[in-house]
């Protein structure tokens, strides 16, 4: 079941964030979520534009309903060329953590989150999705 949020669709048409290398639609590695990174008020943020049935169910079990339209990335701040810091909301477990975003290529974004300082880190590679 494909679910699109009208507000998120309208955001993709706004040219305000065109200057950002992060701007656009990104898919997580499992292909269960598409996030739109664009200007939200005065900041840059990432909103869920589409979610698979599995992602919707997992988020609901974690206490997030609806998932589509939820802000997963906030407080995206430039760190250096091709690197940003941000806060990432994980709806499955209803937690927010600090992450680093690294642009590996034009169409690849590495999302790195750590717990207990920098000892326990996990990362994912998100892939840019063409607009439909």
Confidence of residue 120 (pLDDT cuts 50, 70, 90): confident
Confidence of residue 131 (pLDDT cuts 50, 70, 90): low
pTM of the model: 0.80
Confidence of residue 11 (pLDDT cuts 50, 70, 90): very low
pLDDT in tens, 67-102: 999 999 999 999 998 999 999 999 998 999 999 999
* Phi and psi torsions of 54, nearest 5°: -65, -45
**Alpha-carbon distance 47 to 38, whole Å?**
8
What pLDDT is recorded for position 115? Answer: 75
What average pLDDT score do residues 26-35 get? Answer: 96
**Alpha-carbon distance 126 to 73, whole Å?**
13
Q: CATH code for 6-129?
A: 2.40.128.520
Confidence of residue 124 (pLDDT cuts 50, 70, 90): very high
HSE value, Cβ hemisphere, 13 Å, CA-based, for 32: 11
C-alpha angle with apex 115: 123 to 100, nearest 5 degrees? Answer: 45
Q: Per this entry, what is the length of the chain? A: 132
Indicate the domain borders of the chain: 6-129
The DSSP annotation for 68-83 comes to TT-EEEEEEEEEETTE
């Amino acid at each position: 079941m494909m679910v699109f949020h009208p507000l998120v669709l309208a955001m993709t048409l706004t040219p305000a964030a065109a200057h950002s290398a992060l701007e656009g639609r990104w898919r997580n590695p499992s292909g269960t979520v598409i996030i739109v990174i664009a200007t939200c008020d005065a900041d840059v943020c990432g909103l869920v534009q589409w979610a698979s049935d599995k992602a919707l169910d997992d988020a609901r079990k974690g206490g997030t309903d609806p998932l589509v339209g939820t802000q997963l990335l906030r407080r995206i701040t430039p760190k250096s060329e091709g690197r940003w810091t941000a806060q990432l909301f994980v709806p499955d477990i209803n937690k927010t953590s600090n992450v680093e975003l690294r642009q590996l290529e034009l169409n690849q974004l590495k999302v790195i989150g750590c717990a207990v300082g920098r000892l326990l880190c996990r990362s994912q590679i998100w892939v840019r999705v063409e607009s439909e």
